[in-house]
């Protein structure tokens, strides 16, 4: 069994939930959740938490670097001429995401060099480029469609000897619905562009594989339940042809990412990926031995947050459909973060006078710092002579100290600890509190 098989999760350490705590506590929490593979979302290649990567790997958890291919949410780390790299869309869009063109030589070279430097600087086990596609679902109708800029136009004319299709003027001889042969050429051109873009980043001179020949590579494409022609629509709208992409890039496995028309649904059933079988079938027909993965979203919007039962069901269905692994965006976004009360996962003796308490989620420091929330019980009675102090509250970990801790086994009672609603994606004033005192046995000290 490969390290990447089974349960996997995406994390984005720039979220507040991960800040102001030690990397060790993040690793502890992910391990308690049962994840053996983590996809580290890299938003800035120059600001990776190397300590977190090291600790995850030291714990036996495989770490993937997950990068976006078609743009960025931040631009501070880009060269000064980055605005020239942008895609041109049918209509301007100011949604906080900067779409960058795979037709821009400068962008491709910068991306390749930056990714190669990233995998040299940090010992990621694998690298994947998510969302390498052109925008957008039904983009011609919405206007969020590209790239139709000068680089794309020049490349198309060089290859086909024609201007690109016209997507606005119905009277034009180049109108895409009238000149269907030109539009077919345009679709093929976009598919080839995405494939060449990924191939250059991964396999090109100075690319990722040259920098780290042993690194695992995953390619990504989209899945959507949009009727019988869903596979062809994704190819047309986004330039994504997973089977040919795999032939170009030769990854170690491939991920089918849930598209937003599906993941945004409030009542999305956990078995929805059964409708992605046409996507998987196209891949398996040409690459029958390539392992496949499937990705979902568990809470990017308030109404569609998924609870733990939903995620477990999704996991079961993905396995039954033959996916070797799955992942979800993003660990702390799930409904369980909002609904579940703090639960003690482990209690460890760290010397004569110290106890480490570990929970399944981040603990509120103010509630954890109250000494009266901890009681020593022996012979069915509370030891009033044991004074307990709180040394540190670190994410999901609470470190206690007392010179009166018994050396023989005893029971520790814990109560009234709360979680951290201010650090959620959708902050709340209502914290979840332990339902009743939790009693746990503490081992003897010798």
What DSSP assignment string belongs to 15-76? SGGGSSS-HHHHHHHHHHTT-SEEEEE-S-TT---HHHHHHHHHTT-EEEEEEESSEES--T
Task: Give the tens place of pLDDT for each residue, 45-95.
Answer: 999 999 999 999 999 999 999 999 999 999 999 999 999 999 999 999 999
CA torsion 282-42-261-89 (nearest 10°) is -100
Average pLDDT over residues 195-207: 98
Percent share of the chain, pLDDT over 90: 96
Give the 3-state secondary structure of residue 97: coil
The answer to whether residue 2 sits within a structural domain is no
Average pLDDT over residues 137-164: 98
Same domain, yes or no: 370 and 278: no
Of the candidates 278, 305, 337, which is a domain's last residue? 337
> According to the model, what pLDDT value does residue 41 have?
98
> What totals of helices (H) and strands (E) does the chain contain, helices first?
14, 18
> According to the model, what pLDDT value does residue 90 have?
98
Residue 267 has pLDDT above 90, yes or no: yes
Residue 116: CB partners within 8 Å, gap ≥ 6? 206, 207, 208, 210, 211
The total domain count for the chain is: 2
The answer to whether residue 1 sits within a structural domain is no
> According to the model, what pLDDT value does residue 143 have?
97
Q: Cα–Cα distance between 203 and 70 in angstroms, integer? A: 18
Residue 162 has pLDDT above 70, yes or no: yes
Residue 111 has pLDDT above 80, yes or no: yes
Task: Give the tens place of pLDDT for each residue, 273-294.
Answer: 999 999 999 999 999 999 999 9
Query: The domain that contains 272 carries what CATH number?
Result: 3.20.20.80
Same domain, yes or no: 137 and 259: yes
State the Rg of the chain over Cα.
25
Q: Cα–Cα distance between 307 and 336 in angstroms, integer? A: 5
Of the candidates 279, 314, 337, which is a domain's last residue? 337
Of the candidates 285, 320, 337, which is a domain's last residue? 337
Whole-structure pTM value:
0.96
Percent share of the chain, pLDDT over 70: 99
The answer to whether residue 3 sits within a structural domain is no
Same domain, yes or no: 435 and 309: no
Residue 4: CB partners within 8 Å, gap ≥ 6? 37, 62, 64, 125, 126, 216, 253, 324, 325
Least confident span in 133-142, 203-212, 432-441: 432-441
Average pLDDT over residues 84-107: 97
Give the 3-state secondary structure of residue 438: strand
Average pLDDT over residues 119-143: 97
> According to the model, what pLDDT value does residue 382 have?
85
Q: What are phi and psi of 341, to 5 degrees?
A: -80, 155
pLDDT band at 1 (very low <50, low <70, confident <90, very high): low
Average pLDDT over residues 346-358: 96
Query: The domain that contains 367 carries what CATH number?
Result: 2.60.40.1220
Same domain, yes or no: 303 and 428: no
Range(s) of the domain holding residue 181: 8-337
If you average pLDDT over every residue of the chain, what do you get?
Answer: 97
Residue 316: CB partners within 8 Å, gap ≥ 6? none
> According to the model, what pLDDT value does residue 436 have?
85
CB 95 within 8 A of CB 25: no
Q: Cα–Cα distance between 216 and 369 in angstroms, integer? A: 44
How many CB atoms are located within 10 Å of the residue 93 CB?
17
The answer to whether residue 405 sits within a structural domain is yes
> According to the model, what pLDDT value does residue 5 have?
79
């Amino acid at each position: 069994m490969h390290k990447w098989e089974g349960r996997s999760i995406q994390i984005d350490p720039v979220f507040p939930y991960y800040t102001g705590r030690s990397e060790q506590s993040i690793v502890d929490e992910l391990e308690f959740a049962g994840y053996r593979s983590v996809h580290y979302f890299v938003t800035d290649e120059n600001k990776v938490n190397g300590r977190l990567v090291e600790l995850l790997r030291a714990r036996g958890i495989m770490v993937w670097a997950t990068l976006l291919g078609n743009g960025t949410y931040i631009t501070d780390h880009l060269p000064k001429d980055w605005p020239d790299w942008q895609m041109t869309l049918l209509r301007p869009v100011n949604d906080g995401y900067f779409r960058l063109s795979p037709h821009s030589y400068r962008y491709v070279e910068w991306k390749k060099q930056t990714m190669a430097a990233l995998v040299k600087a940090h010992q990621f086990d694998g690298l994947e480029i998510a969302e390498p596609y052109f925008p957008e679902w039904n983009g011609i109708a919405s206007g969020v469609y590209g790239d139709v800029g000068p680089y794309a136009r020049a490349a198309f004319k060089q290859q086909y000897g024609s201007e690109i299709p016209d997507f606005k003027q119905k009277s034009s001889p180049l109108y895409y619905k009238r000149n269907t042969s030109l539009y077919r050429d345009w679709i093929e051109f976009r598919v080839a562009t995405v494939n060449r873009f990924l191939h250059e980043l991964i396999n090109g001179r100075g690319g990722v594989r040259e920098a780290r020949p042993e690194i695992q590579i995953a390619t990504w494409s989209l899945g959507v339940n949009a009727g019988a022609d869903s596979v062809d629509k994704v190819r047309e709208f986004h330039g994504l042809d997973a089977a040919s992409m795999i032939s170009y890039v030769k990854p170690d496995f491939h991920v089918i990412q849930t598209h937003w028309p599906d993941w945004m649904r409030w009542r999305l059933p956990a078995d929805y990926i059964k409708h992605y079988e046409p996507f998987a079938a196209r891949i398996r027909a040409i690459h029958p031995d390539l392992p496949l993965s499937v990705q979902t979203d568990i809470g990017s919007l308030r109404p569609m947050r998924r609870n733990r039962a939903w995620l477990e069901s999704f996991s079961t269905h993905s396995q039954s459909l033959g996916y070797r692994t799955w992942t979800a965006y993003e660990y702390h976004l799930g409904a369980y973060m909002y609904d579940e009360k703090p639960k003690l996962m482990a209690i460890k003796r760290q010397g004569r006078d110290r106890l480490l308490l570990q929970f399944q989620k981040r603990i509120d420091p103010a509630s954890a710092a109250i000494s009266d929330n901890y009681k020593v019980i022996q012979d069915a009675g509370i030891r009033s002579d044991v004074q307990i102090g709180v040394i540190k509250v670190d994410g999901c970990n609470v470190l206690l100290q007392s010179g009166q801790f018994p050396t023989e086994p005893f029971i520790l009672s814990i109560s009234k600890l709360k979680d951290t609603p201010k650090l959620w994606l959708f902050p709340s004033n209502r914290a979840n509190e332990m339902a009743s005192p939790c009693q746990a046995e503490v081992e003897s000290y010798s």
